[in-house]
Amino acid sequence: MNLLFVTDPLATFKITKDSTYAMMREAASRGHRLAACGPQDLRWQRGAAVEALACEIELTGEPEAWFRAAAPRPLALRDAGAVLMRKDPPFDSEYFYATHLLGQAEREGARVFNKPAALRDHPEKLAIMEFAPYIAPTLVTRSAAEVRRFHAEQRDIILKPLDGMGGMGIFRVGPDGLNLGSIVETLNRDGAQTLMVQKYLPEIAQGDKRVLVIGGEPVPYALARIPQGSEIRGNLAAGGKGVAQPLTARDREIAGALGPVLAARGLLLVGIDVIGDCMTEINVTSPTCFQEITQQTGFPVAKMYLDALERALA
């Protein structure tokens, strides 16, 4: 089977950490053929199918020059065995447009994972609203007055932009309210932009856990991303330390409630972020942590993913 990965430039991959690379390696070990392109390589013209200017690639096993790529050639997405949308955030206008091109490819017969419409319908921060019993006290607003009211109630809060990634733009304001006004002005741009405010969870000291759900079933280990030093963010991109650990009963409860629902909507792979007993985000665009979990526990996350993908295609 030919698998087309829509992804970031291959030369930017850190193959000791990259989950897309882990998928590719597992797929190649099963005899699947690999091809890759970026969202900018997708195109459609009236009278023709959605296609990509894609490169067939071969994995070399070398740590530096880890792939060999053939010359790019047009590939109709419906002619691929599966299309894997693995472009990292941000979910900006170009990402949005790419999901519409992928949606058209689906109408023409392509099989796309995660499903393009589901990517649009589950913004990674706002998707938690549907599952409110599992989240901490949370406010979504443009209003500075509402943020001040929420802070007065909760006393210790986290503020974040809705389009942030990797921990970017996250602020904590404690009981003294220091710099709350300035932070709100920065994030909501004088009321022009919506932000999310959540009660600060001190359990972040034990890590922001990434719980992977594949085909509706949780991977039995989470990766706790533990803040270092005076940092409040556990994100690996912000310097957090990743420690794999078995799922807790609460982790399983959350995954069990969300997993089948999201899988039925075409989300083959989901990354649920959990701090303590509370879910904070639902990641659907390009969930990671495959390699860290496998390296520390021996559990073959990429194998579980390819098994689920092959079942979905059967």
Helical H segments across the chain, by residue range: 19-29, 93-107, 116-121, 144-154, 180-188, 249-264, 290-297, 301-313
Active site residue 43: no
Per-residue pLDDT reduced to its tens digit, 56-109? 999 999 998 999 999 999 999 999 999 999 999 888 999 999 999 999 999 999
pLDDT one-digit tens code per residue, 113-129: 999 999 999 999 999 99
Q: Exactly one of 160, 188, 209, 292 is catalytic; which is it?
A: 160
Q: Is 8 a catalytic residue?
A: no
Which CATH fold topology does 2-114 show?
Rossmann fold (3.40.50)
190 given a catalytic annotation:
no
Q: Which of 87, 125, 199, 209 is catalytic?
A: 125
Worst-scoring range by mean pLDDT, 21-35, 52-66, 223-237, 281-295? 223-237
Q: Does the active-site annotation cover 233?
A: yes
Residue 283 among the catalytic residues? yes
- Delimit the domains of the chain by residue range: 2-114, 137-200, 203-313
139 has a pLDDT exceeding 80: yes
What kind of fold does domain 137-200 have according to CATH? Dna Ligase; domain 1 (3.30.1490)
Q: Can you give the pLDDT at residue 285?
A: 95
Fold: same for 2-114 and 137-200: no
Active site residue 265: no
**What pTM was estimated for this model as a whole?**
0.94
CATH among 3.30.470.20, 3.30.420.40, 3.50.50.60, 3.30.1490.190 for 203-313:
3.30.470.20
